[in-house]
Amino acid sequence: MHLLHRNRRLRQNEAIRSLVRENHLTPHDFLVPLFICEGKGIRQEISSMPGYFRYSLDLITKEVQFLWSLGLKSVLVFVKVADHLKDNKGTEAYNSDGLMQRAVKTIKDAVPEMLVMTDVALDPYSSYGHDGIVHHNQILNDPTVEVLAKMSLSHAKAGADFVAPSDMMDGRIKAIRNTLEQEGFINTGIMSYSAKYASAFYGPFRDALDSAPGFGDKKTYQMDFAGGAKEAILESIRDQNEGADILMVKPGMSYLDILSEVSKSVSIPVAVYQVSGEYAMLQAAHQKGWLAIDKVMYESLIAFKRAGAQMIASYFAIDFAKKYNL
Ligand code: PBG
């Protein structure tokens, strides 16, 4: 045969493959989700997330120092709120001495250079397990947005670098941005979960934070996953125009088409969230001996880069950094 083109020439060995490779992953690409609870000396594995832990605040200093040593420079903080502090108005969410606010200070004291992003949504604080205030089984938009703005301000006051609203209420980015500007927090960023779907892949996360909705589902605020990319692009552009600094598509692996379309349509960075259920299913297959976890971890993560993600929130961040830190 006299072939003009031999595609396999550029695949002959690792040296040439690594030269022509278009996508790369380093620990610097990750946001590390951190689950924090009250108490002392608690490092509790989440049963539906093998290898992932919830920590009490006293263990967080060591944990973030460890993350920093691995080259992981950003954390996304979630708290498990005690039942007696939950109500229908998210009152505890903006308590200046609440667990989240103390967690931010602890992390910043431990590693001042660590980028601290805080989750902004009412579900861990809600007696109904919903992301908004409930009235006659409806999730109220505008009163919820007011609380989210207060909550964001209290995170900023505690020292958060970014607030990350994951609630999907309308108009919250503008309200949060206005509040931060008015109060002088001009450098506090907003990472908006702009295209977030009503997904069953969040199940293990809700176990981790004890935040499952008490009635109904989240379909009146999170997006319909059978919808097309147009809706995701519209949501994302609106959030960009309301003052978001970073956008996000969530979940990840089943939504690469959305990620690709959104990242082509906006001009600010786009993050992706490989969510708890995506982590759980790969770990479960690994435990059964059906998949090689290190390999599927890498392959699933690099897919996000290929699809246009600038950064990745993933429960694999630590394992990735341990295995591939050069
Ligand atoms: C809360 C929130 C959720 C996740 C992040 N923030 C759960 C939900 O919306 O029900 C899911 C993360 C994951 O599954 O890993 N607003």
pLDDT, tens digit, 9 for 90 and up, residues 253-264: 999 999 999 999
Task: Round the average pLDDT of the chain to a whole number and report it.
Answer: 97
278 lines ligand 1 (CB under 6 A): no
Reply yes or no on whether 105 is catalytic.
no
pLDDT at 325 over 90: no
152-208 pLDDT, tens digit per residue, is: 999 999 999 999 999 999 999 999 999 999 999 999 999 999 999 999 999 999 988
Domain ranges of the chain: 25-324
pLDDT value of residue 55: 98
Pocket probe for ligand 1: among 46, 49, 151, 205, the residue whose CB has the most ligand atoms within 8 Å is: 205
Residue 95 tokens read as 């308590």
pLDDT value of residue 88: 97
167 lines ligand 1 (CB under 6 A): yes
pLDDT value of residue 326: 56
Atom of ligand 1 nearest to the CA of 203: 14
30-68 pLDDT, tens digit per residue, is: 999 999 999 999 999 999 999 999 999 999 999 999 999
pLDDT value of residue 197: 98
pLDDT category at 22 given cuts 50, 70, 90 is very high
Residue 36 near residue 79 (C-beta atoms within 8 A): yes
pLDDT value of residue 324: 83
Burial of 290 (0-12, 13-18, 19+ CB in 10 A): exposed
Reply yes or no on whether 250 is catalytic.
yes
Atom of ligand 1 nearest to the CA of 33: 15
**Ligand 1 centroid distance, CA of 241 (Å):** 24
The HSE-up count of residue 114 (CA atoms within 13 Å, CB side) is 34
246-296 pLDDT, tens digit per residue, is: 999 999 999 999 999 999 999 999 999 999 999 999 999 999 999 999 999
pLDDT at 210 over 90: no
Q: Please calculate the CA angle 191-194-198 and round it to the nearest 5 degrees.
A: 125
pLDDT value of residue 93: 98
pTM for the complete prediction? 0.97
CATH hierarchy code of domain 25-324: 3.20.20.70
35 lines ligand 1 (CB under 6 A): no
Options 174, 250, 288, 322, the catalytic residue: 250
Closest-CA residue to 304 (of 317, 318, 292, 287): 317
pLDDT value of residue 208: 87
| Cα–Cα distance for residue pair 13/56, rounded to 1 Å | 47
Residue 100 near residue 53 (C-beta atoms within 8 A): no
